[in-house]
Amino acid sequence: MPPSLKVDSNKVPGCLSTVHVHADYDGASGTLSYKGDSDGLLTKGLVAMLVDGLSGCTPEEVRGVDPGFISRSGIEQSLTPGRNNGFLNMIQVMKDKATDASEGSGGGGLGGGEEEEDKQEGGPIYNEMITKLQLLQPTSLTLLDDSASHASHAGSSGFSGESHFKLSIVAPAFSGLNALKRHRLVYTILGDVMDRIHALEIEAKDPTQA
């Protein structure tokens, strides 16, 4: 990856090492080609794997990548939680760049109704939630940090961002469960994250409802 591409707009947030990802879109073939690099060996390997796997794909294919492969392939077991977070962020950045590079065809990202989802910077709580929610093997997941729009209301003092979230999630795990049970499942999965955030809006669907 040429040094000229190692700029802040290509930097993957939330990684222990420094990781950059760049996407080029070929209008003729409708496919993307990625370049990536990292100063750490492990992360260099991870980004190389993603670059290799996702280059040549269309933006739709990239956006449709299900992060669940991390658990199914066993990669998750080989990585610490911090590395898993970083890996998820790499995938997310590549998806965002797929949307940007092809100038976004249709409603962005992973099927959520919210508009602002594409540029998630991902604070530590956000990343932790994303990682934990993988346990549900979601086919679609959109998490929005909505804290800014709640910044000044009673009872929320003491939180600085990462306080209010909106989650849209589709997972087979929800089949056969009523709304209450689905929400309880999400709370259980998130565990002590709920003690650290103020509010979570949940829309939980099973694949037949998506």
Partner 1 sequence: MSIRRSTSLQCENHSPDFEQETPSATKERIDALVKGNPVLLFMKGNKLFPQCGFSNTAVQILTTYNIDFETVDVLSDEAIRQGVKDYSQWPTIPQLYVAGEFVGGCDIMIEEYQNGNLAETIEKAKADMM
Interface residue list for partner 1 (CB under 8 A) = 150, 153-155, 179-180, 183-184, 187, 194-195, 199-203
Short-list 210, 198, 199, 117, CA closest to 169: 210
Shorter beta-carbon distance to partner 1: residue 11 or 150: 150
Shorter beta-carbon distance to partner 1: residue 97 or 205: 205
Q: Are 96 and 90 in contact (CB under 8 A)?
A: no
| CB of 179 vs partner 1, minimal distance in Å | 5
Short-list 180, 73, 168, CA closest to 130: 168
Shorter beta-carbon distance to partner 1: residue 88 or 167: 167
* CA atoms of 127 and 184, how far apart (whole Å): 20
**What crossing angle do the helices spanning 124-133 and 81-101 adopt, rounded to 10°?**
90
Is position 57 annotated as part of the catalytic site? no
Q: Are 183 and 159 in contact (CB under 8 A)?
A: no
| CB of 154 vs partner 1, minimal distance in Å | 4
Shorter beta-carbon distance to partner 1: residue 5 or 194: 194
CA 3, distance to chain mean position in Å, is: 26
How do beta strands 31-38 and 164-170 pair? Answer: unpaired
| CB of 205 vs partner 1, minimal distance in Å | 11
Backbone torsions φ then ψ of 142, nearest 5 degrees:
-130, 125
| CB of 175 vs partner 1, minimal distance in Å | 16
Catalytic residue among 15, 50, 94, 186: 15
**Which residues form the catalytic set?**
15
